[in-house]
Chains A and B, each alone.
Chain A
């Protein structure tokens, strides 16, 4: 039984049913029933058109359920007049699901969970594992999300920016659990990019591919972080980089710059450098300026200070840093880095250990503690 095939078909079948006017929760029940039937029947009798098969069976299951429910009689009359399902259309219906699952009425965590469930076709257990919460908690989160969106209709296109934010949240969630959420986010963004012609969708896809390409080099075998400058660049995935750059160029050529395209451009410049020293920092600073213009995000100004430090020297970096709010996460780590490059090792060591106290995750805390220890050991010699 091809589980990947089933998973990839689930959202479009669901999309078709919802498009035909079935309530979201009822449609999902019907699709689940059809999947169970497929697992039973397909091994001995594989269908010629798996998607058409699933749609037809799910539709019948829905009709059965509707007939069994007297309260739904009126809807049954309506569906009687509908034409019988023919060959299923593809992308269009799934696109509606993306917008529904990223609806602004949902909290970010609910939108993420619903997207992985309905568009991604993951099981509740898989999603719960990935987010390290009990299955019951995730089941509740998803069913609340379903209730929230169940009254909504598809009469207006949703907000692409919201969908992209949800997909980027999934991508950034890391790698815990038995499902690789980064790969899953790329798969879903690919699907979205195929369905919708939008430069920022392409920008996000390029950004994910470029970040993902560096994944193998980003951590040492013991799990500790390897900073960009020290990464073994031969371990970067060149195919993924080439694809990301090509997608990005296509998007930039359309001259509708957005924040994901600008971020992808920065990632592409890093990926393009044969060594850390040969990085085109001047151009990276220019892209950060663009990004700051587009988003006015303080984190962007913080990252820009790092780039300025590399392009024009640590003093210039510290001057750029002085204009940034020092309460930002990672501010202290950036200050430590720039002071070290400026030769003030004692101050850098102090700042590194201060930054370690504020680190949001274990790998980062360990990395910063090691930086402080390295400088302190040098001071003692």
Chain B
């Protein structure tokens, strides 16, 4: 019973990407198949009682911070911006870490160009939780 965040990445990982044809060069049917795969995945996790939440993110992003009274927030900079990295996320609630890895692997196999798995990198991060009753 631990919650995990599955972060979907726009970019591939350190190893050479296997099926990295950009989405705008897929056929409409391939895009539909990809979306359907993710919808089916989420629906199945709803069925097993492991789904918590999921959203897609737009590829635009802005950095904002407080810079003193009367001054405008700063909106760009040389940061590692998540908009280059993060395409969306899903939160799952599963019995074990192994189960979370299994599901992430499955979601990463969503079909892309040519109906082949896109081998998308998914980052898996556990949620920090409320403290349990026993702390001593």
Contacts and interface: CB of A to CB of B under 8 A. Distances in A.
A361 B130 CA distance: 6
A230 to B, nearest CB: 11
Please classify the interface of chain B as helix (H, G, I), strand (E, B), loop, or mixed, using the class held by over half of its residues. loop
Contact of A359 (B53, B95, B128): B128
A137 B130 contact: no
B98 to A, nearest CB: 12
A172 B3 CA distance: 16
B110 to A, nearest CB: 22
6 contacts: A137-B50, A142-B49, A172-B133, A174-B129, A215-B133, A361-B129
Q: Which of A134, A172, A211 has most chain B Cβ within 10 Å? A: A134
B34 to A, nearest CB: 24
Contacts of B131: 174, 225, 361-364
Contact of A362 (B51, B95, B128): B128
Interface residues of A, number: 41
Contacts, number: 84
Given A136-B46, A174-B130, A362-B129, 12 more contacts: A109-B93, A112-B1, A133-B49, A134-B53, A137-B49, A137-B52, A142-B49, A173-B133, A211-B133, A225-B135, A360-B128, A361-B131
A71 B86 CA distance: 53
Given A108-B1, A140-B49, A144-B48, A364 B135 contact: yes
B133 A365 contact: no
Interface in A313-349: none
A109 B49 contact: yes
A134 B52 contact: yes
A247 interface: no
B77 interface: no
Interface of B: 1, 3, 46-53, 93, 95, 126, 128-136
Interface of A: 107-110, 112-113, 131-134, 136-138, 140-142, 144, 169, 171-176, 182, 211-212, 214-215, 218, 225, 227-228, 270, 359-365
A133 B136 contact: no
Nearest to A174: B130
B1 A137 contact: no
Q: List the 4 shortest-distance A-B pairs measured between CB atoms, nearest first.
A: A141-B49, A174-B130, A363-B131, A140-B49
